[in-house]
A and B are shown apart, each in its own frame.
Chain A
Amino acid sequence: MLRIDPGVVENVAKELYIRALKILPPDIKQGFDTLAARETAATAQNVLGTMIRNIAVAEATDNLLCQDTGIPIYNVTIGRGVELSGDDGAALKAAIRKGCERATREHPLRSSIVHPLTRANEHTSCGIGVPVIQIDHRDEIDGLRIEMIPKGSGSENNSWLKMAVPAEGIDAIKTFVIDCVLDAGGKTCPPTIVGVGVGGTADLCMHLAKIAATRPLGTHCADAEGAKLEDELSGAVNMLGVGPQGLGGDATAFAVHVELAATHITMNPVAVNMQCHSARRASAAITSAGVSYGF
């Protein structure tokens, strides 16, 4: 049995925040190459070239890809063989929070987190309910997996929920996604990953959109109908010509990702949450063999 060591979790939480801000995952880098290869607009080619150059500069200078340190999100998955008892759950959350704060102070990073009413910044990247920490269980993995996502505000500020009705059908879902991409324009730092949540309750639908927006490129919705919908939407949004940074071009989105949940007979909810081109994430596996980092 693996006993969770809060000290290890704290160090991992610190390291993950910094790694996520500096190294873009390989699937996103490949996504850039794909978009650049098929881009036909000169301005857009230029903009994509600058974005690709920035990825190399960040790695060469050991610097952050983007100045927006985002809202820190930690997704924790507890797998097989993890001993979790007593106060371990609370200790786990406290360790993550401490790691997040240490990354901010020790690197240092800009704390982007303020009290929502007073706007006071504690310069810790922490506050009420932040970092966002979500804990789930899965029997398919060993040990503990922690995924860190610094969610940029430019894309987060463009989030939408529509409680459509059954009579509006799937057409309402498709139309809503197209209109959200048009309304977002260049504000979300395109090319984006357009995350679409379909079904569930209002809050679950929005949460699904976030999961979809932060899923690795090349992954697909587990439901066959959802996978079909994301293929169709991926093609359609790139017909609009919004382009990188909203300056025109083919590359409006890397992809549209869809996540589904069952819903009520009276409901047809759809939510959109976007991930900007600096689609940052990092992960770590904590097992009895030690800590290993990835994306």
Chain B
Amino acid sequence: MAHYDLSTPITEAQTRALRIDDTVTLNGPLFGIRDATQIAMFDRGRATRFDLAGHAVIHTAPNVKKVDVSPANPTGYAPVCIGTTTSSRMERFTRPLLERCGVRIVIGKGGLGVASLAAFGEIGGAYLAIVGGTAALETTWIEAIEDVDLDDLNPESLWRFRVRGFGPLRVAMDSHGGSLYTSVDADARGKRAAALAALGVNARPAR
């Protein structure tokens, strides 16, 4: 298990070096996306002026406050609390993010499914697990909100954060077919019969 300190954007080779259970700390631009952002981009054909090639995206919609535009807050938004949402709702957008936008890293919580895992393998991508529900800590890793696009979708705008020492994050899905979620799920389902036996239930097949 290796640790990588990466500055975005990264290359395909850097992405493919990542293996499950490695840890990563990110520096540089990080893009915030969510359900509405990706519905707009991939279902409704909205274009973004941001170049996401080689970059990392995080499943988020932040708490922000409106402030005067300044060098520190060029968008007129200052961060209040920035955390991470459940990734699985956005499963079908992983492939277009990689294929059409050139995204290399998806950061989220709770994991993605088999279609995303296939896209990571074919195109070269990885999923980094952050600890969900720890947004106060996560916010301390964010230096600024550098830019925002598609802001009519606020809070589900396309955000460009600048991060430093963002992590450590755990590589939970890699480009070699590895997924911690698949292995943990298989192990847990393997323990189903024992858990039911402890409850005095004769295990029947799962619904």
Contact = CB atoms under 8 A, between A and B. Distances in A.
B140 interface: yes
A248 B133 contact: no
B53 interface: no
B185 interface: yes
A75 interface: no
A50 B140 CA distance: 13
Contact of A182 (B188, B200, B201): B188
A239 B63 contact: no
A278 B136 contact: no
Contact of B137 (A53, A107, A182, A185): A53
Contact of B85 (A119, A154, A232, A235): A154
A240 to B, nearest CB: 5
Nearest to A152: B133
A54 B134 contact: yes
A51 B100 CA distance: 35
B184 interface: yes
Interface string A42-75: 0100010011011001100101111111000000
B170 A187 contact: no
Contacts of A248: 180, 183-184, 187
A246 B181 contact: yes
A175 B185 CA distance: 17
A243 interface: yes
A107 B65 CA distance: 8
B201 A174 contact: yes
Main secondary structure of the interface of B (DSSP, over half): mixed
B72 interface: no
B191 A63 contact: no
A108 B83 CA distance: 16
B204 A175 contact: yes
B92 interface: no
B110 A246 contact: yes
Contact of A67 (B61, B140, B192, B204): B61
Contacts of A178: 192, 195-196, 199
Most buried by B among A51, A174, A240, A244: A240
Interface in B115-149: 129, 131-137, 139-140
B109 A232 contact: no
B80 A108 contact: yes
A115 interface: no
Contacts of A174: 196, 199-201
B11 interface: no
Contacts of B199: 174, 178, 232-233, 236
A54 B187 CA distance: 29
A219 B110 CA distance: 28
Nearest to B134: A54
A167 B64 CA distance: 53
Contact of B81 (A67, A232, A240): A67
Interface string A162-189: 0000000001001110110010011111
Given A54-B136, A189-B133, A241 B81 contact: no
B94 interface: no
Contact of B80 (A63, A237, A242): A63
B83 A67 contact: yes
A280 to B, nearest CB: 10
Nearest to B156: A121
A239 B207 CA distance: 19
A153 B60 CA distance: 13
B191 A57 contact: no
A284 B198 CA distance: 41
Given A66-B133, A248-B187, A278-B133, A189 B109 contact: yes
B76 interface: no
Contacts of B61: 67, 110, 112
Interface of A: 43, 47, 50-51, 53-54, 57-58, 61, 63-69, 107-112, 119, 121, 152-154, 157, 171, 174-176, 178-179, 182, 185-189, 232-233, 235-237, 239-248, 276-278
6 contacts: A66-B132, A67-B83, A110-B62, A174-B199, A175-B204, A189-B86
Given A63-B135, A154-B86, A245-B110, 12 more contacts: A47-B131, A51-B131, A65-B133, A67-B84, A109-B63, A110-B61, A153-B86, A175-B196, A179-B207, A185-B181, A235-B198, A239-B198
Give the top 5 A-B pairs by smallest Cβ distance, nearest first. Answer: A67-B83, A58-B136, A54-B134, A64-B81, A110-B63
